[in-house]
Structure 1
Amino acid sequence: MPGTPEPGSALPSDAQASNAQVAAGSGNAQPVSSVHEVSTLIEQSAHDLRSSLNAIQSWAYVLDRAFDTTPAPAQRALDGIRSGMQQQLALIEEMEEGVRLLADEAPPRWQQLDLRELALQAIADRRHAAEARGVLLSPLSTDGAAIWPDASASANAPDAPDAAAYRIDGDAMRLAPLLRHLLAHCIWRAPAGGAVSVHLFSEPDYVKLRITESPPLDSQRSASRLAALTDFFGRRPPQGGETPSRQSSALLLTRRMVEMHGAVLSAESAGCDSDKVSVCIAVRFPRHMRLA
């Protein structure tokens, strides 16, 4: 409220300084880690952002109930407001997690992980977001065989691939968010009515994850996106003094987590007609980490 002092400002400035000196000299003050400070900041920022969205949502509810029969243009506007709010809430959630992961300097905790299980979980976690966008999220496929969400049933199927075929050394606390954020990026990029599919390929020394997007209506956009992603993944500066293309926060986090795993990000084109090229984002995870 106007005129309300900030916490701690009720003391005169000399008293505050004295108290600070006492705290510093008492030996009880503990240093605050950067990760903790970042977490506190992001939690408060996310709370503030959600508060504004909740207010908008409340007004949308009031407007929706203000008419016995809502006019079609008003109903479309309200539907757009709700959809936009859901997207913003999802982005806030991803931002919270992403900032914490980027600020976390703890060494990786390597263990054997099944990339199939993590990919299935990422698809399940993001299916609601895909449905809200009107995007088809296909079942996971491995070397051409579809794997449905019921992983236990798939594992018992006679033609199910060997579980060891998709095992890698990974840090579970970082690898699972990596897959979720990468999948979320592709879902947000897909047009309404489009599709996103996830594939796993077993290689002798690597397990390859590939996410395929729907081909855009304009073939030129595929070519420019492939070029922009290739430069971004390779950390190559733009040529000729051009402004670097902006990438989503999800891709920024993905690149950092991929590099930490010793994996390689690449942009590929799927086998489609020459005038309808689908953009794929691929990650090749090494099966075993080469520890220094």
Structure 2
Amino acid sequence: MLGETAPLAAALAMAADAALAGNGTRRAQVVIGEDETMRTFSVLALPGPQSVTLIVSPCANAGGSDEVASRIAHLRAEVALFMRDHVLSIVSHDLRGPLNAIHSWGYVLERKVDANDPASQRALTGIRSGVEQQVKLIEQTVDATRAETKAVALKLAPVAVRPVLERSASLARAGVANARGVTIALDSPLAEEQVEGDAERLMQTLWLMQAFAAEASPRDAQVSVPSNIEGNMWRTDVRFTASAQALKDAASPHVLEAFSRRQALEPRETGRIAWGLALCKRVSEAHGGAFEHTDIVDGGEVTLSVRIPVAGM
């Protein structure tokens, strides 16, 4: 956080300047209006190669606590950041395959067409030039934009898992579940167990899993969260019944943006996850663990699952 609550222009400028100077993510808080009309927003500043991206999230009232509301706003900003990175990664990967094929077929055509035919040679030159431009665009724009979160920096220390579970569930209830009438039920015998990890990142992961389950569940549903130690892994599942109507309901509180909620319901390729859950995948893999989920279909039973090694990396 950059100082105390500040006016809009000043806080945005401070966040951007600090992100550029420190070459890292910075957070701030801004206010607009006064007294009854005052609104508070959280800002996440992400430095890029030539500019700074500012993600501004409203701090909605969550359980009457400004601290909780600000915390949830920052969590949502982190979700948006990792989702952006994940989508750019998919775009970069999926575009390279067709471009490589076009490039290869260009060489095949080069050997087949008449070298003395100006029109054919111009066509081949256009194909090669187009491919080179697209590859350059991917490298300079897509790949450069996701450089900030390409590697997840972890602050490793012994982490007691029970408080992380309870804190994540509390924030998920305050931000989404309570307003939707959804119950989040922890089911874990864990008490003093610890893992070597980043407590903040682990909490973010568990919060997102539970918050997503709450917003994807019909009203008055229950989200079950069993958590235990299996061998050398700490495993936490989040189980719920998915509702397409709940995900599409714009009038209810949400963690994810509308396009991300719609994407979660689309068929997915093997091994890929819903875009909005990218933070869970990146954080678990940075810890040497894994994240996966079953298909998210209307009326279907869904399980989100994260596994984190108990021992050090």
RMSD (Å), alpha carbons:
4.3
2:233 is matched by which residue type in structure 1? Y
Partner residue, 1:96: 77
Task: Name which of 16, 22, 26 aligns with 1:33.
Answer: 22
User: More strand per residue: 1 or 2?
Assistant: 2
How far apart in 2 are the matches of 1:225 and 1:100? Answer: 19
Structure 2, unaligned stretches of length 5 or more?
1-18, 28-43, 61-69, 86-147, 246-263
Structure 1, unaligned stretches of length 5 or more?
1-29, 55-88, 143-160, 219-223, 234-245, 270-275
Q: May I ask how many residue pairs the two structures share in their alignment?
A: 184
Task: Name which of 181, 191, 198 aligns with 1:163.
Answer: 191
> CA 1:115 to 1:137, structure 2 compared with 1: closer, same or farther past 3 Å?
same
Q: Offset at 1:122? A: 0.9
How far apart in 2 are the matches of 1:192 and 1:210? Answer: 21
Q: Offset at 1:188? A: 1.4
Q: How high is the TM-score relative to the length of structure 2?
A: 0.47
Partner residue, 1:252: 278
Partner residue, 1:22: none
Deviation per CA, 1:232-272, whole angstroms, max 9, x where unpaired?
24xxxxxxxxxxxx532xx0111111111111112259xxx
Q: Offset at 1:226? A: 10
Partner residue, 2:223: 196
The sequence identity of aligned pairs, in percent, is 20
Q: Offset at 1:214? A: 2.1
How far apart in 2 are the matches of 1:106 and 1:266? Answer: 18
> CA 1:118 to 1:229, structure 2 compared with 1: closer, same or farther past 3 Å?
farther
Q: How high is the TM-score relative to the length of structure 1?
A: 0.50
Deviation per CA, 1:19-52, whole angstroms, max 9, x where unpaired?
xxxxxxxxxxx962332478336999555x64xx
Q: Pick the structure with greater CA Rg.
A: 1
How far apart in 1 are the matches of 2:74 and 2:194? Answer: 29
Task: Name which of 271, 277, 284 aligns with 1:231.
Answer: 271
Partner residue, 1:279: 302
Kept in 1, the 8 Å contact 2:24–2:46? The answer is no
For 1:180-191, list aligned pairs within 5 A.
180-191=207-218
Kept in 2, the 8 Å contact 1:210–1:280? The answer is yes
Kept in 2, the 8 Å contact 1:208–1:283? The answer is yes
How far apart in 2 are the matches of 1:261 and 1:110? Answer: 9
Deviation per CA, 1:99-122, whole angstroms, max 9, x where unpaired?
399746574222221222211111
1:170 is matched by which residue type in structure 2? G
Task: Name which of 153, 163, 167 aligns with 1:121.
Answer: 167
How far apart in 1 are the matches of 2:266 and 2:308? Answer: 21
